[in-house]
Amino acid sequence: MATKLTYEFKLKVEVARYHHLDVMGEIAKVSAPKWYKRSYLKTAIRHKRTYVALVGKIPGAFLVWNRDFYGYYFIDLLVVHPELRRKGLARLLIRAMEKRCTGRRLYTSTNRSNKVMQQVMKRMGYKRVGYISNVDRGDPEWIYYKKL
Ligand SMILES: CC(C)(COP(=O)(O)OP(=O)(O)OC[C@H]1O[C@@H](n2cnc3c(N)ncnc32)[C@H](O)[C@@H]1OP(=O)(O)O)[C@@H](O)C(=O)NCCC(=O)NCCS
């Protein structure tokens, strides 16, 4: 799926492949340090559970999903390179994920402190359906859900 934004570059979402791994690692490192684990990304790529948003040919953002949330689809990690934010990359990746889901439920979560991701959720029509305490100290994980 491809889309043309109002700027000069073309965006495209693809299932990530191994040759994207290094750039994904760099994006994760500058954006989500506590999450960055090369082995985690490698496994997700191996199982085809990762989408990349390509800016031209270069990954600018990625999304990792699983089905570990009571068997339902769950967006586990969504990261956009800091210099490419607010250009719709997260929206594009979430939409690709929504299309890929075979079930009618898609879940994700974010910390209470992550106001930006909460805005993304609101914009994409996700409902906050609960929270989990004691994952990050003093910063509960808010659970979001969308009926597809
Ligand atoms: C959260 C994150 C993924 C958003 O990515 P993004 O590509 O910048 O988001 P988008 O451009 O697709 O924004 C979608 C909508 O969310 C809202 N939004 C996004 N960033 C916002 C901001 N800084 N302030 C207010 N609203 C914001 C807007 O409604 C936006 O739509 P609009 O631009 O048409 O108004 C990105 O900031 C990021 O990588 N953060 C660090 C990692 C992280 O926290 N990941 C989420 C938890 S795993």
CA distance 64 to 78: 7
Nearest-CA residue for atom 44 of ligand 1: 117
- Residue 42 has a pLDDT of 96
119 CA: nearest ligand 1 atom: 17
pTM above 0.85, yes or no: yes
CB of residue 116 inside a 6 A radius of ligand 1: yes
Average pLDDT of span 96-104? 95
Secondary structure of residue 97 in the 3-state scheme: helix
CA distance 23 to 46: 16
Which tokens in the block code for residue 49? 């559970």
Paired sense of beta strands 72-80 and 105-111, if any: parallel
CB of residue 117 inside a 6 A radius of ligand 1: yes
CB of residue 124 inside a 6 A radius of ligand 1: no
pLDDT at 94 over 60: yes
- Residue 104 has a pLDDT of 94
pLDDT at 6 over 60: no
Nearest-CA residue for atom 5 of ligand 1: 90
> Of all helices (H) and strands (E), which one includes residue 68?
strand 58-69
94 CA: nearest ligand 1 atom: 12
CB of residue 88 inside a 6 A radius of ligand 1: yes
Nearest-CA residue for atom 3 of ligand 1: 79
Nearest-CA residue for atom 34 of ligand 1: 88
Min mean pLDDT across 9-13, 91-95, 114-118, 128-132 is at: 9-13
Confidence band, pLDDT 50/70/90 cuts, at residue 86: very high
Average pLDDT of span 24-28? 94
Q: At a CB cut-off of 8 Å and minimum separation 6, what does 29 contact?
A: 36
pLDDT at 1 over 70: no
**How buried is 78 (Cβ within 10 angstroms: 0-12 exposed, 13-18 middle, 19+ buried)?**
buried
CB of residue 5 inside a 6 A radius of ligand 1: no
CA distance 2 to 28: 23
Domains defined for the chain, CATH in brackets? 2-147 (3.40.630.30)
CB of residue 128 inside a 6 A radius of ligand 1: no
Confidence band, pLDDT 50/70/90 cuts, at residue 32: confident
Confidence band, pLDDT 50/70/90 cuts, at residue 34: confident
Q: What is the mean pLDDT of the chain?
A: 93
